Structure 1
Amino acid sequence: MAKEKQKKSVTEKKKEEQTVEQEKGITPRLLEMYKKTVVNNLMNQFKYKNVMQVPRLEKICVNTGVGQATQDAKILDAVVKDMEAIVGQKPVITRAKKAISNFKLRQGLPIGVRVTLRSIRMYEFMDRFINIAVPRIRDFRGFSDKSFDGHGNYTVGVKEHIIFPEIDIDKVAKVFGMDITFVTTARTDQEAYALLKEFGVPFEKRQIPIEKSST
């Protein structure tokens, strides 16, 4: 898997950045910060030999379960509407692959909503999440550093979607939580941690020491 993350060339990375800029004619703040500051900081920290080795954010996956939607279609509609408002993109409804009689679940019934963000929407969502939504979490003391998957990807759970500024709490039909996964090209969790921290993800006190790359 580590080798797969190194397949994209510098040219491909530049094409992705150009695509982002062409979509709106502007560069998202976090992408601009990545190019001007984050790359250099990570190069110095991990002693990379070239810029191709510097990890970057590839995509953000957001998903939520809607078990009650099997009994009430209005709940599903409300979740889809709110999710679209939050991420700025039409979400996909996930459906049961097989029936589970104990849960009165039939094959094909909706069980969740998910969306994958890339390019400009990815950076804009991350910016809003870090700087607007997270500060509205009650009794927040930082995200755990134990939710990396061993391959440089990080998942954080949000208990209430009403922390997002796009949601009018007075019009919410159902409060739901969600999982947000930051998928990076980092080969190790230590490198992914450093990348996300550079972007401003507020982690709690580090439990695992940062290891320098062997490359």
Structure 2
Amino acid sequence: MRFLKNYSESIVKYDLINKFTYKKTVDIPKFEKIILNFTFKKYEFKSLISSLIALELLTFQNPIITKSKVSNISLKVRKGHPIGCKLTLRKNFMFNFFFKLLNEFLLTTSKKVNVKKQKDKSFSFIIKNILVFNELEKNYRFFKNLSNLNITLVTNSKNKNNLLFLLKSYKIL
């Protein structure tokens, strides 16, 4: 989305420059990519197909099927069986999905995000109710049994303070 890209270039960038000191303009933190991931505990063809279609409806890109590298007897998963799907967004696709994520999920729900991991360069959280997005809510019967959607925001920040300030500027935290 052009609005979000303009906001990050004009407002967030200068807020970061005023808050922290940088030697080069390349050191200013910004979003590099967004990774979307569905995982399953059991191999079910219906849930795999519905998660593939859900990611494609949300981002207009084709996701990749992730396969198990080792077999696990307790989960009844063999080596090479599909265990989820994954999608990496960059550039304009990333800003389009990020705008949709901010408007449809973070602003409409009054809850805070469920933080999964937080490192120096990335921030991960989980969306438990995937039907918050309008495209998926219209086809409720098809997407009602989906598992949690894991979202990872990857930045080029050097430390946690830069990452936290960047996330607060977009009202994620």
| Equivalent residues of 1:64, 1:113 under 8 A apart | yes
**Where does residue 38 of structure 1 map in the other structure?**
12
For residue 177 of structure 1, report the CA deviation from its aligned partner: 1.0
* Local SS of the residue matching 1:120: helix
For residue 87 of structure 1, report the CA deviation from its aligned partner: 2.1
| Equivalent residues of 1:59, 1:182 under 8 A apart | yes
Letter in 2 for 1:64: F
**Where does residue 3 of structure 2 map in the other structure?**
29
Letter in 2 for 1:163: V
Distance 2:77 2:156 in 1: 37
Greater per-residue strand proportion: 2
* Local SS of the residue matching 2:69: coil
What is the Cα-based RMSD across aligned positions, in Å?
Answer: 1.9
Matches within 5 A, 1:84-123: 84-123=56-95
Aligned residues: 171
What TM-score, normalized by structure 1, do the two folds share? Answer: 0.73
Determine which of 31, 38, 56 is the counterpart of 1:57.
Answer: 31
- Cα offsets for 1:83-123 (capped at 9, x unmatched): 11112211111111011112211111110111000000101
Distance 1:146 1:80 in 2: 22
What TM-score, normalized by structure 2, do the two folds share? Answer: 0.90
Unaligned runs of 5+ in 2: none
The verdict on how the C-alpha distance between 1:88 and 1:200 changes in structure 2, with shifts beyond 3 A counting, is: farther
Determine which of 92, 114, 133 is the counterpart of 1:164.
Answer: 133
- Cα offsets for 1:11-64 (capped at 9, x unmatched): xxxxxxxxxxxxxxxx62211111111111100000223322211100001101
1:79 aligns with 2:48: no
The verdict on how the C-alpha distance between 1:145 and 1:109 changes in structure 2, with shifts beyond 3 A counting, is: closer
4+ long deviations beyond 6 Å: none
Distance 2:23 2:46 in 1: 54
Determine which of 182, 185, 190 is the counterpart of 2:153.
Answer: 182
Letter in 1 for 2:15: N
Letter in 2 for 1:118: R
